[in-house]
Amino acid sequence: MRKYVWIVVFIVLGIYFLTGVYQVGPSEVALLKTFGRFTSVVPSGIHYHLPYPIQSHVTVDVTTVRKIEIGFRSIQRGERISYQSVPQEAIMITGDNNLVSVEAVVQYRVKDPVAFAFNITEADSIVRFTTESVLREKVAMRSIDDVLTTGRDEIGFETARMLQQILDSYNCGVKVENVYLQEVVPPDPVVDAFDDVNNARQDKERLINEARKYANDVVPKAQGQAQEILRQAEAYAQEVYLKALGEAKRFEEVLEEYSKAPDITRKRMLLDALQSLLEKSENKVFFVGNGDSLNILNISDLLKGMGK
């Protein structure tokens, strides 16, 4: 009877000591604890430690990149993956007091397995809430146009950088690999109003471009015409000035001659005037003297009177 008791005792002890055999996966490390205190890091492979409660271990996956979804959840339905929106996470307010729906993905992995295993619990929740807080702050610092267009990549980069700083201050043992905004759109209730505003803005830009195109076509022509008119005016002014200058010079010459012989000069001026008048007349003219006066008869006028 005592023999069987010892056999049972040995079997129980053998089973007890065999519980210390454990395996660590290729992507994992094991954190060995002795009497509840961390003692060493064990790499992947098959290992042995003294059974519980003397020693125990915790395995941590240190190579797999983990993913946290902000504003949506992936739903596995058969072979296809669908997405469900989480508005309470996605809806954020921008710097110009508009609402925008932001869906983001955070990728991270474990960089310090000891800190990750013993300093925090529910790492995914910590990363999710911290990311959402930082993301709301970054969105609130920009306008809705910036968030919807050029600012998306910058928001993701700035969020990842600030998230890493905060998680390091928590000593979480987490390395943030990437934060990218998957979808940034106006919330469903305001999509129509947003489209109207966007269309009006595009119409405004189109009209401004058309006006600029018209101005670029008209203004150079008007400037060219103005320059041409200005040149013509300057040429006319120069012509008038030179003509007046010539007339003044001619007057001075006549005045000088007149002062030398006033009667002769006066007669010559009358003859010059009469010659000029006859050259311009198309009809024959007769002169009838009456004392010192000189009358001019236009034969055309006489012929018209006889025709009546």
List, for residues 51-92, the tens digit of each pLDDT value.
888 999 999 999 999 999 999 998 876 677 788 889 899 999
Domain extent listing, the chain: 1-61, 66-190, 261-304
Task: Mention the CATH class of domain 66-190.
Answer: alpha beta
Q: C-alpha angle 23/26/28, rounded to 5°?
A: 75
More confident residue, 168 or 289: 168
138 pLDDT more than 90: yes
To the nearest 10°, the Cα dihedral for 72, 77, 79, 80?
A: -40
Residues 60/110, Cβ–Cβ less than 8 Å: yes
Residues 49/56, Cβ–Cβ less than 8 Å: yes
Range in 194-208, 252-266, 287-301 with the lowest mean pLDDT: 287-301
Model confidence band, residue 201 (pLDDT cutoffs 50, 70, 90): confident
List, for residues 241-264, the tens digit of each pLDDT value.
999 999 999 888 878 878 888 888
Range in 118-127, 135-144, 237-246, 272-281 with the lowest mean pLDDT: 272-281
How many residues does this entry show for the chain? 308
